[in-house]
Amino acid sequence: MLKKLPGDETRNLVSTTPDTAVVFRPAIVRTPAAVTIAIFIGRLLVGLARLIWRHPVAVAVSAIPVVLGWLYGWRVVLVAVTIPLSVLIPWALFDRESFNAWIGWRLLAFWRLIWVYRRHWHAVMTVSGLARHLQGRDYVPHLIRVRCTSWADLVSVKMLTGQAVTDWADRIEHLAHGFGATSCRVSVARAGRLLLTFPRRDPLAVPLPAIALPATVSVGPLEIGICEDGRPWHLKIHGTHVLVAGATGAGKGSILWSVIRALIPAIWTGVAQVWGLDPKLMELSFGRAIFEGRYAATPEECADLLEEAVSLMQKRAAKFAGVQREHIPTVEDPFILIVVDEVAFLTAYQSDRTLKQRIMAALATLTTQGRAVGFGVLAALQDPRKDVLTIRNLFPDKIALRLDESEQVDMVLGDGARDRGALADHISSVPEEGAGIGYVRLETSPDPIRVRAAYVSDADIRDMAALFETEEAV
């Protein structure tokens, strides 16, 4: 058995006895001091150039006073500092948004790069298992840059050669706690580079009241809440199907009613219709007038209404055949959204086998053929298991609200969604803190987006229904 030990020359042979392993010690190549110093100076210059290129504002703020003090004395430095502060302070006080966009977030990014990420980078990478030690050398993923927004740090990272995204996605909890964040999300920026998102605060912590009725007629994308980055959450419903999954009290009704509320002008003008299936008789019954007679509660009524939708869809498909490939909502051919409050009551929990087969066949037909001719399905359920809803893969867009188990996240959003940061099982069960909060995974993007739907109260629903009750009375 041969064993190599670093540190000495090969002449120091320990033993040649047959019973003892022969140990070889490789020779040490001594690098001249001049070469070592040159390498150190070169790395220092490259690092300074990179620092100046990536953080020009922070470097200028730090370097200019030092240079002026060295050349002209402290009085010039005092004047040079006072004049910019007299401009920056009022700017920050009276126009905080533009100040942060130009200066504030850049300075914060520089500070957090030095104090938080650069200072702990090597230790976190090593402990989490993302660094490698091969042939006496340490290989650590490269920290490229840090950008700050109003709510999170966006950290760009270059992976080691041979690493995969799953290597990082499996360690999001290590990364979050290592850098003092509540969570971490991993997304692919480009080949070999990742974008790590570390939230500093939660912009969705405060419940969002019902959004005002739109002033224009539209069938989507509809504004129904806000995204984590502060932008309005626009949900596409025309040309797709949406599945909403969440435990009891997770806020599924907020999404259903926010969508209906955003469609009110389109329903009023006749370019859209909403058909309601309410097997629990608790959610959609508040606004029954909005559905204009297309409302069903019992399993028999739900099966009949779904089959009516299938028949109308097939007639429209025959009408569009060879004429047009995309649906444009009109009064003659309106967009029809079928809202199912608890789809599991009509599928897995339906005791009548005949009704169950009718409902499943109608839903499968609508979700496979309805997109192109202006039919959409918005379904909500509590249990996302495959045996509860066998056609869940026919819904291109999916929303996961609070779920009971971590495995359910991937059941709803697809494999790997939780590893990318969709921690739907960590959403608070307190209604004020977690109701309406969820993660959206769209057909066009594999990365989940954290959102919160606006809360539509019972009073808001009654006011919406009153608009149609008044019309019927007239």
Over the stretch 235-260, which tens digit does the pLDDT of each residue have? 999 999 999 999 988 999 999 999 99
Torsion, Cα 453 240 305 389, to 10 degrees, reads -80
Residue type, 261: R
Q: Please choose, from the candidates 292, 209, 224, 302, the residue with its C-alpha nearest in 3D space to the C-alpha of residue 257.
A: 224
pLDDT above 70 as % of the chain: 93
Q: How far apart are CA 333 and CA 324, in angstroms?
A: 13
| Residue with more model confidence, 38 or 31 | 38
Candidate from 1-5, 47-51, 102-106, 387-391 with smallest mean pLDDT: 1-5
Banded pLDDT at 1 (limits 50, 70, 90): very low
User: Quick one: average pLDDT of 73-89?
Assistant: 75
Mean pLDDT confidence for 440-461: 89
pTM here? Answer: 0.77
pLDDT of 15 reads 52
Q: Highest-confidence range of 260-274, 280-294, 377-391, 432-446, by mean pLDDT?
A: 260-274
Q: State pLDDT tens for residues 98-138.
A: 888 888 898 899 899 999 999 999 999 999 999 988 877 88
Residues 222 and 267 sit within 8 Å (Cβ to Cβ)? no
CA angle 98, 99, 100 (to 5 degrees): 90
| 3-class secondary structure, 8 | coil
Give the count of alpha carbons within 13 A of 170, CB side only: 8
On the question of pLDDT at 303 being above 90, the answer is yes
Q: What is the mean pLDDT of the segment spanning 48-72? A: 78
How distant is the alpha carbon of residue 387 from its chain centre? Answer: 27
Most confident range (mean pLDDT) of 42-51, 180-189, 198-207, 251-260 is 251-260
β-partners of residue 209 are: 455
Query: Which pLDDT tens digit goes with each residue over 380-418?
Result: 998 887 777 788 889 999 999 999 888 899 889 988 888
Residues making up the annotated binding site are 246-253
Render the burial of 182-217: b for 16+ CB within 10 Å, e for the rest. Answer: ebbbbbeeeeeebbbbbbeebbbeebbebbeeeeeb
CA distance 265 to 253: 20
The pLDDT of residue 25: 64
Return the pLDDT at 240: 93
Binding residues for ATP: 246-253
Residue 10 has pLDDT above 50, yes or no: no
Cis peptide before 32 (omega within 30 of 0): no
Phi, psi for 248 (deg, rounded to 5): -60, 130
DSSP string, 358-389: HHHHHHHHHHHHSGGGTEEEEEEES---TTT-
Cα–Cα distance between 115 and 112 in angstroms, integer? 5
8 A C-beta contact, residue 125 and residue 140: yes
Torsion of CA 37, 40, 41, 45, to 10 degrees: 170
Rounded CA separation 142/5 (Å)? 30
Taking only the tens place, the pLDDT of each residue in 320-347 is 888 888 888 999 999 999 999 888 888 8
Separation between Cα atoms, residue 224 and residue 395, nearest integer Å? 19
